A and B are shown apart, each in its own frame.
Chain A
């Protein structure tokens, strides 16, 4: 019963833009095992985000099948998909997407709140997660009081707090300077080593590649192994 953590079988995704049909992904088949650190590179518009969204159960393919932990997810209801995202997936976005009215602590605790965990448990786990990203002293701050690098570390803490098996990072360094990019990437790599989750990271620059255990590339919606 050894399923790959993620499996895409001949997945295509097309968007209708007016009369045109845009092929964001064409016949992509892909597997990711537990514990891999996979980078997905490709120029802007090549289909990286679409690829991640399909794995993360936030989007459904036009054709083909998507498996997460052995479960076919592309036909699930909103409720089923939401539950998978709540438990199995952690997202890190290029623009952080933190909640501006919530404190750092509240932002990080959010996934646990969504799971309906107990208050004490939430407190312990959130403090722990913040400690791991080195932001214990900024718990009461609001996102706007942080630097870009700090914001992204909050986002990382938020992505890992509920111990998901899959971390999806969509150009996490795209909005950071090189110093901060380095820090965030090292942080993700370290957490990956400690927790053993699978990372799929989209990127269009070189820096993340050296942390990868496996590299794939996308051009024009087509996946190529080993770039």
Chain B
């Protein structure tokens, strides 16, 4: 050990000091890989944890909860439950999302028709007097008991958590306005201490009395949930079963943690994708270390030989080089962890925004960062550097004491047998990848798809050496006339192994880039076609709080009549969506006016005509389901679904399956009349408004805004499409960001690899210079090498990216989210990106090339 360290200090450290450029690039590359990995990990964990924590915190000591999806339960049920022997407490809960803003001052006007109306917060309606056993909350100010009671009793008062107080800059005694189904004005009667429930969702929480909440949300006589605490000593599962039997149809009783499971499942799929992407940067960083280490081993052949002849064992050499790799890993991890913490903050804001857009209301501001994350960062950094440093270290130890002197001028030989083995191995793995996809599709789980993607990446790596050799041979043959290109191709052939590693890392990064571009652009095109075909109404109206994801806001059916009476309006389709417990999960049951949709709208059915299917569904009381729903639950056209309703189970036949690209986890849609009849719900979630042919849409908009309740938002067809596409862009922004970092790390690889090449070719460069090749000639030749390397990587990456995209589109996405996406290859955009990659690799070569051109010739020619 001691010997290793003193050798390390004497040899490695001094060498590294001589090559600060290469060392710096390697460190930055490793650091970026580690940073991206832990940033994504931290952001993912923080958001998941925030979601789970808020769930737990808001449930407090609740052991079981009764709910009935979006329709809620009758408030009288609570009395019946309280009568049960096994239950100690039962508390009513209304839980919704609302907009809130300060009501004092000048900025207090609501923005008419805007989707965002101040701060989105979670609103809890509780029985404030009886809730103490469930959720503890304390006020920031100390109040006497009577004082608290009087504050609670105020029907015009509410309590806010610290986060809301800060966001709105309001305090006790100030007025706020809350908007849900109605807009109401409240006085802040207390600010909660940021602990427990009041700490979750970054303190974006308000609490009001249950009666007031029923009014704000127009849920008269109904509750979203009833929370239960059992008598001591009861066995939860058996009591749960007993309560379940006792409940009316459609209502379920379950443990609180289960409520978030559907969302958590979707979050997990979304986060897995990000994790996989972040691993790519790390993998590319791996190649970087491998390259640097093997270059340093190659360059120090003489030194190794000397050490060996001085009696250092081969084990000693392994530990010497292993220790050097570990040092790089350690330094890279330090830098990476520091960078990762910053990146995590950025990633978190992207990820939480996407979660808010697509999945659920989530407020989280600060990345959770503790010793565990630190350990992960270092563990990953050291592990990666050890794994990628060990092979060069072993190679170094295998070298015989003599070899260093004998091989001095040797070119690294690649035997044809090795190439044949690589090619056939790569082909075999490609076949395996194909087989894995078939397995995934047959089994219905995306996991083999991920494995298959990994196999494609491995095959790409294996192909890289043959690609380097072929590529340099082809350039040598075809561009022999251009001296620089010819020299460049020779340069590449000089160290085929190292260049192959560089090529494979850049090719893998490019492959991911290509596959993401194809996937995202295909997805975008598919969604565009879909919105074009299915969003056919001229205007859409919905309660503003509907724009908070997970909101259950609704409006009264009267809106239909009011809007229908506006001149220029031809038809109004009232749409209602409610969550229903079904098969242990929650699904969305929707009701639409099938007559209007059949006539004016359109759904893209997998098979069958839109109008025909919808008409049939309306007249026979059948349902249509989204493709996502069909895939998720294995439902086909013609199947019967048994849906829970207040009057008992309702069997519904599936009349057709249609394409849909929302993230709701699938819809079952019936005619709204049918929904009204069986589920006894007459409220509306949104409305689609069709205008008469010669109506002027600006005029109609004005008249609509005059008659609509101010809590409603009106969005034009174009506006909605724009919103869809901007959410789309936001969602994939982080994907692109991660991918660009991977490409960046790979480009650092190009720079280090070229500078290693140059260091080993100093004599050749010297000889060329002595023959009269000027500095520009050297620069051009080396940049030419980068260009060839870049172009070969792009070609290899393109080929494997096309395959990866197919896996992502047809297997992973299909099985994770249930979407059918058209595979679209957009040549133009792709060509531009790839050109940028080639140019970037040229740019990466500029510094090494310049350094090579500046080597004094006499030094390049001298032997030591």
Contacts and interface: CB of A to CB of B under 8 A. Distances in A.
Interface string B386-420: 00000000000000000000000111000000000
Nearest to A81: B774
Contacts of A98: 409, 767
A18 interface: no
Nearest to B853: A78
B775 to A, nearest CB: 5
B410 A144 contact: yes
B771 interface: yes
A116 interface: yes
A142 B764 CA distance: 15
A101 B771 contact: no
Contact of B411 (A87, A101, A158): A101
A114 B772 contact: yes
B795 interface: no
A58 B483 CA distance: 21
A80 to B, nearest CB: 9
A101 B857 contact: no
Interface string A72-96: 0000001101111111010101111
A115 B767 CA distance: 15
Contacts of A86: 771-773
A53 interface: yes
Contacts, number: 96
B773 A82 contact: yes
Contacts of B486: 113
Contact of A58 (B481, B857, B863): B857
A100 B409 contact: yes
A110 B858 contact: no
Interface string B839-864: 00000000000000000111001110
Contacts of B483: 113-114, 116
B772 A82 contact: yes
A181 interface: no
B863 A95 contact: yes
A97 B766 contact: yes
A114 B773 contact: yes
A97 B773 contact: no
A97 B764 contact: yes
B645 to A, nearest CB: 78
A203 interface: no
Nearest to B409: A100
A94 B774 CA distance: 22
A101 B409 contact: no
A102 interface: yes
Interface in B770-792: 770-777
A53 B857 contact: yes
Interface string A101-118: 110000000110111100
A56 interface: yes
A53 B858 contact: yes
Contacts of A101: 411, 490-491, 493-494
A143 interface: yes
Contact of B861 (A82, A97, A111, A142): A97
Contacts of A116: 483
A91 B409 contact: no
Contact of B857 (A59, A83, A114, A144): A59
B579 interface: no
B763 interface: yes
Contacts of B409: 95-96, 98, 100, 143-144
Given A59-B856, A101-B490, A143-B409, A49 B772 contact: no
Nearest to B769: A58
Nearest to A116: B483
Contact of A82 (B481, B491, B774, B862): B774
A119 B482 CA distance: 12
Given A59-B856, A59-B858, A100-B409, A91 B773 contact: no
A86 B772 CA distance: 4
B857 A78 contact: no
Contacts of B490: 99, 101-102
Kindly name the residue among B494, B763, B767, B863 whose own CB sees the greatest number of chain A CB atoms within 10 A.
B767
Nearest to B766: A97
Contacts of B774: 78-79, 81-83
Contacts of A94: 863
Contacts of B481: 119
A12 interface: no
A95 B410 contact: no
A93 B767 contact: yes
B407 to A, nearest CB: 9
A102 B488 CA distance: 12
Nearest to A86: B772
Nearest to B408: A95
A95 B520 CA distance: 56
Given A98-B409, A100-B409, A100-B410, A91 B863 contact: no
B136 to A, nearest CB: 72
A172 B857 CA distance: 18
A152 interface: no
A50 interface: yes
A114 B493 contact: no
Interface in B735-776: 763-764, 766-776
Interface string B487-525: 000110110000000000000000000000000000000
B771 A110 contact: yes
Nearest to B775: A78
A94 B861 CA distance: 9
A83 B775 CA distance: 11
B789 to A, nearest CB: 15
Contact of A49 (B494, B771, B775, B862): B862
Contacts of A59: 856-858
Given A56-B770, A102-B490, A110-B771, A49 B410 contact: no
A82 B863 CA distance: 22
Nearest to B492: A101
Contacts of A143: 409
A84 B772 CA distance: 7
A144 B771 CA distance: 21
A80 B787 CA distance: 28
B861 A93 contact: yes
Interface of B: 409-411, 481, 483, 486, 490-491, 493-494, 763-764, 766-777, 856-858, 861-863
Given A50-B858, A79-B774, A170-B861, 5 more contacts: A91-B771, A97-B764, A101-B491, A111-B771, A114-B771
6 contacts: A58-B861, A83-B772, A91-B767, A96-B409, A97-B764, A101-B491
Interface of A: 49-50, 53, 56, 58-59, 78-79, 81-87, 89, 91, 93-102, 110-111, 113-116, 119, 142-144, 158, 170
> Which 7 pairs across A and B sit closest by C-beta, in order of nearness?
A86-B772, A82-B774, A97-B767, A85-B772, A58-B857, A100-B411, A101-B490
